[in-house]
Amino acid sequence: MKGTLPEDFLRHYGLYLRLRKITRCVSSDIDTALAHVASDYDQMSLLVALSNKEGRFASELAKVLDRAPASVTRTLDKLVEQSLVVRSRRRIDRRKVELRLTNLGDESVHHLCGQIAPLLQSRF
């Protein structure tokens, strides 16, 4: 039949749609839980990635978090303004801007994770 889609495709696509819905729901719950600390899901995910040493450059973080580089840069700008992250040029290759958490950023990520852990445990 020309109009019928393969069963494999439909099963995987259905799973994909459910996972997207869960992700949106959890990120919305996290945003709500973080509202009183002036943070959001995007900021928290960058702080956690930096804390876990998953990336030192914006391009690495964009790949790890599956986000557009421009989106990562905007979020990093906010984190730099809040003194949670610092940018520094590498001495060897001045084109590269290295990122790292400040002491305040490190404290904040631990605080945020402590607030979010119960939410994630209750969801999963």
pLDDT for the residue 26: 82
* Structure token pair of residue 16: 């994909």
Residue 84 forms part of a structural domain: yes
Q: With pLDDT > 70 as the criterion, what percentage of the chain qualifies?
A: 96
Total number of domains constituting the chain: 1
pLDDT for the residue 77: 96
Residue 111 has φ and ψ, to the nearest 5°, of -65, -45
- The 10s digit of each residue's pLDDT in 68-119 is 999 999 999 999 999 999 998 877 877 788 899 999 999 988 888 888 888 7
Domain holding 42, by residue range, is 7-123
Q: What is the mean pLDDT of residues 15-33?
A: 84
For residue 30, what is the domain's CATH number? 1.10.10.10
* Helix-strand-coil split of the chain, %, nearest 5: 70, 10, 25
* Cα–Cα distance, 77 to 35 (Å, whole number): 19
- pTM of the entire predicted model: 0.72
